[in-house]
Amino acid sequence: MMDRAALQVILLGMFLMSATSDPVKKKKNVDIYSFYINSTVTSRYATTVITSRVANTLNESQEIQFEVKIPKNAFISKFRMTIEGKTYDGVVKEKEAAQQQYNQAVSRGQSAGLVKSVGRTLEDFKTSVTVSAFSKVTFELTYEELLKRRLGKYELLINAQPMQPVADFKIDVHIQEKPGISFLEVKGDLSTGDLANAIKTTRADKDFQVWVTFYPTQDQQTKCKSCGENGLNGDLLITYDVERQNPKGEIMVSKGYFVHYFAPSDVPRISKNVVFIIDRSGSMSGRKIKQTRLALLKILSDLDEDDHFGLITFDSEVSLWKRELLRATEANLENAKSFVKEIRDRGATDINAAVLAGVDMINRHPREGTASILILLTDGDPTTGETNIEKIMSNVKKAIGNKFPLYCLGFGYDVNFDFLTKMSLENSGVARRIYEDSDADLQLQGFYEEVAVPLLTDIQLKYPGGTNLTKTSFSLYFNGSEIVVSGQITDNSVESFTTEVIAVSKGSNVTYQDTIMTKDPSDVPPENENFMQRLWAYLTVKQLLDRQVLLKGQEKEDEKKEALKLSLKYQFVTTLTSMVVTKPQEGEVEVANKPKEGKGGDGYTADVDSDDDDSAFLLHSAAMDYSDAMDYSDAMDYSVMIHHPLPTYGSPTIHTTTPPAVQVHSNRFLLPVVGQSKPLCFDVPLPHKLRLLQDSASEFSMNGESLSENHGFHQIAIHYKTNHHLIISTKSISYHNGQDKVEILWGQELTQHNTDGVSLVVLENEMNVTMGNIGVVIISHKKDGVKFLWPAIWEHPKDVNLTGVLGKSDISYVKTEGSQTPTLKMKDKEVKTYLETVSDYRFHSTPVQECWLVPFQAVMEAEISDFTVTQL
């Protein structure tokens, strides 16, 4: 069996990253010669890039493995491998499209790989590649997450365990916060002893920016408390918060998007009414019931004297400590603690009766100017009384009536966590899993601390001039947390943007209103200028996916489609998408899926399409043959094969689109349609020589030639009258006017040529051509190391009758409603279509466009052969 060397990267906590390999499989002939973790936090939005460079020092090929475990709240947005100068990119696709690749692998007798869930908050991404003798491989993974404020701070936890000292080991953290950083602390195993000398913290711009670097020498990597010959094994914990001098919050505007962080601390705390509903059924026996008692005793000690509380325990029967809410006086708390100490496990589980009893207790004792909270702790399904989950949820929702939140804590993995999640979300709360471990009591206490100090209730945020807003209504705001709203600005020409927050503080309405100038210079550096758009997309997708458990019918389907569309546009690996990694071994493909909240940590079904997809990332190896014929109706799989694959976005510091490393079978053209927001698009198979544009009246023509398996055009020829001939290739430009010949190379300084109705302007990666009254632009692109050309029309008289692939202008369509499959009505014919997300190569920036993908014949009303030429 081939020797295996493993490289593993682990990301823990808010962010936890580690490189490791199984000590049993560790080989001395694998050299991790460079390992970088680069985390950039811009206004709480963190983008982390992990780059690992590994050398095979054997004189034979061997498999190198790369494994990453990331926080459940993070979205992978980019993965690539570079081997011997060739790059293999992961591409995010709709999950169902990846299913076909998986099915093909299974049909060929290949098994699917299953990766276990690791720890409490981790998901697993894993791939491997065979590296030839004395060769190197570079792995690069990017993931993104919006840091969430808890208990007054953000946390960045970085764990390093590369399993060998690394010559070039670096961790760089760059935090940029517009209001300024109020405090920052670096702790952890890797900050002690001799390693503390490898940590450097630098503040700049009046504390608006902080850099934390960790550059240990190879010698230092062996001398920490838990280090040895295998190198680093420990963590850095970076905690920080921002200045909050403006109680109205922090507003940032950039490129048509905004984000509003609202976390006032200058308001008095609201006394609360809290009812704890505790499962004491037989399944809670042993350590679980002991830890629950310990946590409750500590929580009771932390209640404020003006708080009111109640205790309910349940199995098949419901027991109330007291029938009414009592004030948290010293005497009442001591009596409650005595009650808690006597809680014993027994019987079945009647969740319905217990929660309704808690609701009734709060409803019977309303207190003006207070905040009410229900907290349910259970470890199992309802087994007695009302056991129909839908009926229980209906009963609870009706009883609460949107008056206060219900928080559900699921103890262990036997609990029906989907049920608890839906029931809590339906009642303005959240569900949290409590893991069966030695610190379960601390987990319970930690959750309570997050909701212990309510400051505002019934919060409504309004944004005149804003659209496509994330969630704007919140039942409670707790001290130490943060409300975040993002959206788009409807009119980019406005000079100011106004926010308004209306809430209730101790029974009285309070209003926060603020206006900022949108034209102020941005504090965001150019390399991160797109972070706000990606922040908006991240938060929108997160909230759309969270709402899926609440919705039904068409509304659920519409929001699912919107979440999928954004996931594909921004290349997020979510529960609706998969990342397909193409590897150099005979086109081998791996499929990585983001799991739902798991039922256990030992691994589950390997079927990517399973509704019970509760495992960590699944990786399915498949020797996919991309030349297989595909049905046109399979639009998502088809998109892997065509010229404009779904773009893969890198981190905000890397402005590149990275398609999958697969064969290119078609060029895709975009066709704007007057009166429609979405253009049409169509594909032309490769290779081809096409008549791109022609105006017979002025004797103008433009033809293009494409090669097999290459993007765009490798050569474009433009002819005008009988004596003007322009040949543009990826290397050079040649112009002949019948007498003189001009040769120009790409990359030269600005070059202009004007003669006899012809104007040629050559820039670094662009050529503007005007011949007569027709103007076109030729863009030079480079993708996967290969240059190609792409043409676009930029000027022509309205009365000119243009023909050719780019000359179609009289097209129109109407979207037909009611059909399950999207259908467009074109020229009195119904055409099935699919909404695609593609890159527009008519521009240097290759902006992402949505388009309706239709057959060539439906647009051009002719066959492709009618547009081919024998000579350029």
Statement to judge: residues 141 and 208 lie in one domain = yes
The single residue listed with the structure tokens 């975040």 is: 484
**pLDDT tens, residue by residue, 762-782:** 877 888 898 988 889 999 988
- How does residue 481 score in pLDDT terms, banded at 50, 70 and 90? very high
- With a CB cutoff of 8 Å and minimum separation 6, the contacts of 68 are 8, 9, 10, 11, 50, 76, 124, 125, 126, 141, 143
Domain annotation covers residue 852: yes
CB-CB neighbours of 322 under 10 Å: 15
Residue 789 CB coordination number (10 Å): 23
The pLDDT of residue 519 is above 70? no
pLDDT at 158 over 90: no
Q: Evaluate whether 775 touches 769 at the Cβ level (below 8 Å).
A: yes
* Interatomic CA distance for residues 707 and 805, integer angstroms: 17
Beta strands in 518-638 (DSSP E): 577-582, 588-593, 618-619, 622-623
- The Cα 236–Cα 200 span in angstroms is 12
Contacts 24+ apart (CB under 8 A), 24-29: 26/163, 26/164, 26/230, 27/3, 27/62, 29/3, 29/5, 29/56, 29/57, 29/58, 29/62
On the question of pLDDT at 180 being above 50, the answer is: yes
CA atoms within 13 A on the CB side of 34: 11
**Residue percentage of the chain with pLDDT more than 70:** 82
Is 434 in the same domain as 472?
A: no
Tell me what the mean pLDDT of segment 131-137 comes to: 90
pLDDT > 80? residue 353: yes
Q: Tens digit of pLDDT for each residue in 674-711?
A: 777 788 988 888 888 899 999 888 889 999 999 877 78
Half-sphere exposure (CA, 13 Å, Cβ side) for 549?
Answer: 21
Tell me the residue length of the chain: 872
Residue 203: count other Cβ atoms within 10 Å of its Cβ: 14
Within this chain, do residues 287 and 436 fall inside the same structural domain, yes or no? Answer: yes
- The lowest-confidence range among 496-505, 514-523, 617-626, 733-742 is 617-626
User: What is the reported pLDDT for 569?
Assistant: 93
For residue range 303-313, list pLDDT tens digits in order. Answer: 999 999 999 99
Are 187 and 288 in the same domain?
no
Confirm whether 6 is domain-assigned.
no
Domain endpoint, select from 570, 601, 627: 570
What's residue 821's pLDDT?
74
Q: Which of 452, 478, 508 is the last residue of a domain?
A: 452
Q: What is the mean pLDDT of residues 374-401?
A: 92
* Distance (Å, whole) CA 765 – CA 733: 12
Inside any domain, residue 10: no
CA distance 106 to 820: 30
The predicted pLDDT at position 760 comes to 85
CATH number at residue 358: 3.40.50.410
The reply to whether 239 and 280 lie within a common domain is no
Boundary of a domain, candidates 452, 479, 501: 452
Is the CA virtual torsion 243, 244, 245, 251 positive or negative?
Answer: positive
CA dist 405 and 15 (Å) reads 29
Asked if pLDDT for residue 602 goes beyond 50, the answer is: no
Residues 321 and 403 in one domain: yes
822, burial (CB in 10 Å: exposed 0-12, middle 13-18, buried 19+): middle
Query: For residues 659 and 616, which has the higher predicted lDDT (pLDDT)?
Result: 659
* Residue at 648 is within a domain: no
384 neighbors 418 (Cβ within 8 angstroms): no
Are 566 and 430 in the same domain? no
Residue 504 in tokens: 């209730």
CA atoms in the 13 A half-sphere facing the CB of 61: 9
pLDDT at site 136: 92
In this structure, of 596-600, 641-645, 847-851, the range with the lowest mean pLDDT score is 641-645
Q: Could you report how far apart the first and last alpha carbons of the chain are, in Å?
A: 54
Please indicate, yes or no, whether residues 435 and 551 belong to a single structural domain of this protein.
no
Name the amino acid, one letter, at 229. E
pLDDT tier, 837 (very low <50, low <70, confident <90, very high otherwise): confident
Dihedral angle at the C-alpha atoms of 303, 309, 312, 313, nearest 10 degrees?
10
Over 80: is that where the pLDDT of 553 sits? yes
> What is the arithmetic mean of pLDDT over 490-497?
80
Mean pLDDT of the chain: 80
pLDDT at 833 over 60: yes
Strand order in the sheet with 834-839: 666-671, 680-685, 848-853, 834-839
The pLDDT score that the predictor gives to residue 743 is 85
| Predicted pLDDT at 607 | 30
Residue 610 lies in a domain: no
Q: Per the domain annotation, does 109 fall within a domain?
A: yes
In this structure, the answer to whether residues 364 and 277 fall within a common structural domain is yes
Q: Which of 108-117, 211-220, 290-299, 855-864 has the lowest mean pLDDT?
A: 108-117
Span 646-657, average pLDDT: 28
Tell me, what CATH number does 78's domain have? 2.60.40
Q: Is the peptide bond preceding residue 687 cis, with omega within 30 degrees of 0?
A: yes
CA angle, residues 392, 292, 307, in degrees to nearest 5? 80
pLDDT of 376 over the 50 cut: yes
Question: Is residue 395 one of the residues assigned to a domain?
Answer: yes
Same domain, 564 and 579: no
Same domain, 356 and 232: no
pLDDT digits over 605-632, tens only? 223 222 333 222 333 222 222 222 222 2
680 closest CA partner among 566, 793, 815, 870: 815
Please report where in the chains the tokens 């629950």 appear, as a residue.
292
The residue assigned the tokens 């030429």 is: 869
Most confident range, picked from 333-342, 728-737, 821-830? 333-342
Question: Confidence class of residue 227 from pLDDT cuts 50, 70 and 90?
Answer: confident
| pLDDT for residue 467 | 92
| Structure confidence at residue 116 (pLDDT) | 36
Q: In which band, very low, low, confident or very high, does the pLDDT at 56 lie, cut at 50, 70 and 90?
A: very high
Of the segments 87-96, 373-382, 749-758, which one has the largest average pLDDT value? 373-382
**Number of other CB atoms surrounding residue 51 within 10 Å:** 18
Cβ-contact 652, 535 below 8 angstroms: no
- Structural domain contains residue 792: yes
CA atoms of 78 and 660, how far apart (whole Å): 11
- Strand, helix or coil for residue 818: coil
Number of domains present in the structure of the chain: 4
Nearest CA-CA partner of 171 in 81, 12, 54, 49: 49
For residue 649, the model assigns a pLDDT of 26
- Residue 484 is part of which domain span? 255-266+457-570
Residues 362 and 279 in one domain: yes
